[in-house]
Amino acid sequence: MKQIVLSGIRPTGKLHLGNYLGAIRDFVKLQEECKCFFFVADWHSLTTLDDFSELRKNSFEIVMDFLAAGLSPGKCTIFLQSDIPEIAELALLLSMFQPANELSTLPTYQDVIAKKPNKNNAGLLYYPILMAADILAHKAHLIPVGRDQEIHIRVARDIARRFNNRFGDTFPIPQTFEKESIKVPGLDGTEKMGKSEDNDILLTDSPDIIRQKIAIAVTDTSRKHLCDPGNPFICNLFAMHELVSSENTVEEIKIGCKTAKIGCLECKKMLSSSIIDLLMPFQEKRKKFATNPNLVKEVLHYGRLKAKKNAKKTLNEVREKMGLSSF
């Protein structure tokens, strides 16, 4: 039996290079070997968004990104979380298997309310249970997520175990999909590129915008003049070269930077070209979907039918085991 893989991306903004290299590129590989479910986690994004006016548009854009990156509705199921209300009912039922006090101690919850105290809503507290329902609805085995989300996989695992102990084997115990951990750094010198950090290269940025963003990106701040040798290992842009440039270019930059033969300007030009080369085929393909939105709607319609059928089956099984099937 094929392993079942499930992962979602929250439509809290446009997708960036970090989302592509750290998530979507793996999805594209996984669809070849596993039974995959990839969804736009629009319910999850409600927990932290201030403004919902762009939500629908962003959700649609993410599906276009999925398709342009190479996800194929023939090989995986692509759907919108809010198209499957069965997930919400399953989350309600699964919440009976989660101690309430643990939710407010999770670091993911604590981090959000530390940064955004006005987001202390019950939906945020409930997030890990909804995520457990996303996973368990499809009886998924492997969940490719960023390291920050691993704690939520643990919650899903615990809920699955408690349910299985009470009602017999129902859910596989989901595991985080172990992959080479990639972290795309921010252009502002911070550790991680993020949707709301203003430090990103969007997948839809034009070559000119890419060049402009890289031109003002933070490098090794101790390197003030072209003749100063730099330290590539503390420079975010070198870390990006390692992710997007050819081996030869990476080696050339490493040596050139350390020996002051290559300045930051030259290094940035080379980085811009590598990123442009990586993103141009994606952007070309994306145009096809942008000019034909019905194609995208069709993918979502087909995905909704498949995901709904699956979630309904699991929900009925859970309802029945919990004494809730209708008369």
| Contacts with ligand AMP, residue ranges (CB under 6 A) | 9-10, 18-19, 22-23, 145-146, 149, 182-184, 192-195
Q: How far is the CB of 140 from ligand AMP (least distance, A)?
A: 15
Instruction: Retrieve residue 11's tokens.
Output: 């439509």
Q: Which residue is nearest to ligand AMP (CB)?
A: 22
CA distance 192 to 206: 22
Residue 185, φ and ψ in degrees, nearest 5: -75, 165
Pairing of the two strands 142-143 and 76-80: unpaired
Q: How far is the CB of 68 from ligand AMP (least distance, A)?
A: 16
Q: Using the minimum distance from each CB to ligand AMP, give the nearer residue, 136 or 193.
A: 193
Q: What is the DSSP letter of 16?
A: B
**CA nearest to 94, candidates 255, 281, 300, 315:** 315
Q: How far is the CB of 183 from ligand AMP (least distance, A)?
A: 5
Q: Using the minimum distance from each CB to ligand AMP, give the nearer residue, 132 or 193.
A: 193
Q: Tell me the residue length of the chain.
A: 327
Strand, helix or coil for residue 192:
coil
Q: Which residues contact 140 (CB under 8 A, 6 or more apart)?
A: 4, 5, 6, 37, 172, 174
Q: Using the minimum distance from each CB to ligand AMP, give the nearer residue, 195 or 308.
A: 195
**CA nearest to 254, candidates 232, 230, 228:** 232
Q: Using the minimum distance from each CB to ligand AMP, give the nearer residue, 197 or 317.
A: 197
Q: How far is the CB of 182 from ligand AMP (least distance, A)?
A: 5
Q: How far is the CB of 85 from ligand AMP (least distance, A)?
A: 22
Q: How far is the CB of 173 from ligand AMP (least distance, A)?
A: 20
CA distance 230 to 210: 23
Q: How far is the CB of 163 from ligand AMP (least distance, A)?
A: 25
From the centroid of its chain, how far is CA 267? 29
CA distance 161 to 132: 12
Q: Using the minimum distance from each CB to ligand AMP, give the nearer residue, 40 or 262.
A: 40
Burial class (CB in 10 A: 0-12, 13-18, 19+), 126: middle
Q: Which residue has the tokens 């393909």?
A: 285
Q: Using the minimum distance from each CB to ligand AMP, give the nearer residue, 22 or 232.
A: 22
Q: How far is the CB of 167 from ligand AMP (least distance, A)?
A: 31
Q: Using the minimum distance from each CB to ligand AMP, give the nearer residue, 9 or 140.
A: 9
Scanning 54-187, the segments in alpha helix (DSSP H) are 55-69, 86-94, 100-103, 107-115, 122-137, 150-167
Kindly provide the residue ranges of all beta strands, DSSP E only, lying in 192-280, ordered along the sequence.
none
Q: Using the minimum distance from each CB to ligand AMP, give the nearer residue, 10 or 241.
A: 10
